[in-house]
Amino acid sequence: MSLPAPSTQGTHRLVSSPAGRIHLVEQGTGPLVLLVHGFPESWYSWRHQLPVLAAAGYRAVAVDVRGYGRSSRPDGVDAYRMLDLVEDSVAVVHALGEESAVIVGHDWGSQIAAGSALVRPDVFHGIALLSVPYAPRGGPRPSDVFSRMGGDEEFYVSYFQEPGRAEAEIEPDVRGWLSGFYAAMSGDTMPGPGAPDPHFTSPGGTLRERFPSGRLPAWLSEADLDVYAGEFERTGMSGALNRYRNMDRDWEDLADFDGAPVTQPSLFVGGALDASTNWMADAIEAYPTTLPGLVSSHLLDGCGHWIQQERPDEVNRILTGWLAALPA
């Protein structure tokens, strides 16, 4: 089924999945490359990659993850666990008439890509991770780990756990909140040394209180912000936030994969200024064990979290080079 597009780029379709439907945008022909976004984004975060991958001879497909955009938004919080998202990834590949694909993910999409490659290596024969490194399942329950971070302050992942709490902060002014959140984690607009960390809240406070204000990141135009804000103003934030609310369920569901490596040919690209790459430096150092198929790992100087939008040319060059070197 075709849909009217919010941009002139690519073909918009709905395909069936365990979620109900997944909305996707595809461009090009050739081997399938599945692009999976993170929080709080949509298929649109891959707008710079779709035409480049298509021109390089690939069938590039960017999805709206369940809970986002025009994809289905199941009601139950537990409908957003990792194994459900893996099933969605597999369903998209098969709905497109393919048997296998390379999967590329950013932020939560990086973890969805890793989970998909780990659980369904028969479907996903290559994996590229942007911004969030791969770390195998293991250790204490995630909620216990995050609750100990920040001392008297509350880490944003813990802040997101209670249904309705973050929604009450975000939904009265989605556009304003998104602009601040994007700026807080962008290389050119993130708070400088000594400023309060926007990943934490003070007791009784909100995340937004610590966001920078006054200008958008260089990568984000007013029109781009309109696209993102328009989607979340229509859908609300609960579907997106429910991904965070399933980390303990994922920890239980994936017990059989404790410590398991992802063995397919892989790629990692992170921003040197991104908190994710700094917090998880040990995970990057462990790649010889956890990602034995790693082809290359890159940290882009001066780059923040929104890597494929902040540095599209560099990411496209790295990604297309890696894809070209994959076994046929």
Helix residue ranges, H only, the chain: 50-55, 82-95, 108-119, 142-147, 156-159, 165-170, 174-184, 222-235, 238-241, 247-253, 275-279, 281-285, 287-290, 307-310, 312-325
* Catalytic site includes residue 107: yes
Helix (H, G, I), strand (E, B) or coil at 128: strand
- List CB contacts of 150: < 8 A, sequence separation 6 or more: 200
CA distances from 291 to 107, 134, 258 (A): 17, 8, 14
CA distances from 21 to 1, 16, 121, 224, 277 (A): 11, 5, 23, 25, 33
* Catalytic site includes residue 48: no
Q: Which of 12, 37, 199, 305 is catalytic?
A: 305
Q: Which of 84, 88, 107, 224 is catalytic?
A: 107
Stated length of the chain = 328
- List CB contacts of 26: < 8 A, sequence separation 6 or more: 10, 11, 13, 50, 59, 60, 61, 62, 96
Helix residue ranges, H only, 238-298: 238-241, 247-253, 275-279, 281-285, 287-290
d(CA 266, CA 26): 22
d(CA 328, CA 312): 25
d(CA 68, CA 235): 7
Find tokens 């998209």 and name the residue. 92
**Residues annotated as part of the active site:** 107, 305
